[in-house]
Amino acid sequence: MIINFFTNFCQSASAIKCPIVSSPRFLGTFQPTKDEFIKSPNISFCSSKGTDFYDNNALQFFNDTKDLKSMEPVCDEFINVLPENAEVLDAGCGSGRDSKYFMSKGLSVTAIDGSKELCELASENIGQEVLNLNYNQIPPSPKYDGIWACAALVHSSDEEMHQSINCMANALKDGGILQTNFKLGDKTIIDGKNRVQRYFNEQTLEKLFNEHPNLEIEKTWVTEDVLKRPDNDWLNVILRKKLSED
Ligand SMILES: C[S@@+](CC[C@H](N)C(=O)[O-])C[C@H]1O[C@@H](n2cnc3c(N)ncnc32)[C@H](O)[C@@H]1O
């Protein structure tokens, strides 16, 4: 499986004119360093605006969100549609709360976040290096059974969101799962903390993912805000990557 992954990775990497780097780390459990993870110097960066708030308020955010046990039922929905011992990517992992939960359930987790400060706190929290990477630095090789992107896209512009979803979809195996969530509604606001907040409902969510025909919506459901903020329900979605035609 590891060899297959490496072969696939090399094919994808050469397709985007990336240097192919052979590393002994690929021979064991795949837990790449940041350099190994990126591979391509050609990948461009998303705007850093989505992560500025988290760099500037890392410790507060970490303390506020690291112990939210009420997220576990939403995590379980993800675990339940994955194969056993699945390989997952926690994209925008924040405190690492959910990575830690997935690891406790036997999943193999790679965690990334665009905020350097949060990566340091999260690495300590999960006992494993959290890679300081943007979503569009996710390598395009189809490696993951599942990508968990909890509240990970809520601060993105349309362009960034589509770019990030593309990167995530490319990194999923055929039949792999992307689970994400948005605040429920139909608006874009700047919140009290000066962050962009994107709201979606069933219709706008469908429209968003219509532009990603390789992903199929499998389930949507609404949950209450785990931080108990008023008027802040969340629309959760499970998407499955379609089997490629060849
Ligand atoms: C609302 S927080 C959610 C954190 C965590 N998933 C949770 O549920 O507690 C959004 C997270 O995504 C990260 N983030 C936002 N935009 C990003 C990007 N383009 N690339 C990588 N991380 C990003 C932020 O640094 C932050 O940790």
pLDDT of res. 230? 77
H or E, element range at 169 = helix 158-170
Amino acid 14: pLDDT: 30
Structure tokens at 86: 């699945």
CB of 160 within 8 A of CB of 44? no
Tokens of 127: 């006992």
Residue 199 CA, ligand 1 centroid: distance in Å: 16
Q: Which of 54, 70, 158, 182 to mutate to test the pocket of ligand 1 (most atoms within 8 A of CB)?
A: 54
CA dihedral 90, 96, 100, 102 (to 10 degrees): -20
For ligand 1, is residue 181 a contact (CB within 6 Å)? no
Topology adopted by domain 54-64+71-80+93-241: Rossmann fold (3.40.50)
Does ligand 1 have an atom closer than 6 angstroms to the CB of 99?
Answer: no
Name which residue sits closest to atom 16 of ligand 1, judged by CA: 50
Q: Which residues partner with 182 through β-bridges?
A: 235
- Entry pTM: 0.84
Q: For the chain, what are the domain ranges? A: 54-64+71-80+93-241
Instruction: Per residue of the chain (246 residues), give pLDDT as tens.
Output: 333 332 333 333 333 322 222 222 222 233 455 555 544 433 333 344 679 999 999 999 999 999 999 999 999 999 999 999 999 999 999 999 999 999 999 999 999 999 999 999 999 999 999 999 999 999 999 999 999 999 999 999 999 999 999 999 999 999 999 999 999 999 999 888 888 899 999 999 999 999 999 999 999 999 998 888 877 899 999 999 999 876
- Residue 177 is predicted with a pLDDT of 98
Which of 60, 155, 181, 226 has the most ligand 1 atoms within 8 A of CB, as the residue to mutate? 155
Ligand 1 contacts CB of residue 114 (under 6 A): yes
Instruction: Give dist(CA 219, CA 211) in Å, integer.
Output: 18
pLDDT at 231 (0 to 100): 75
Q: For the chain, how many residues are written?
A: 246
Burial class of residue 97, CB neighbours in 10 A (0-12, 13-18, 19+): buried
Ramachandran region, residue 4 (left: φ > 0; alpha: ψ -120 to 50; beta: rest): alpha
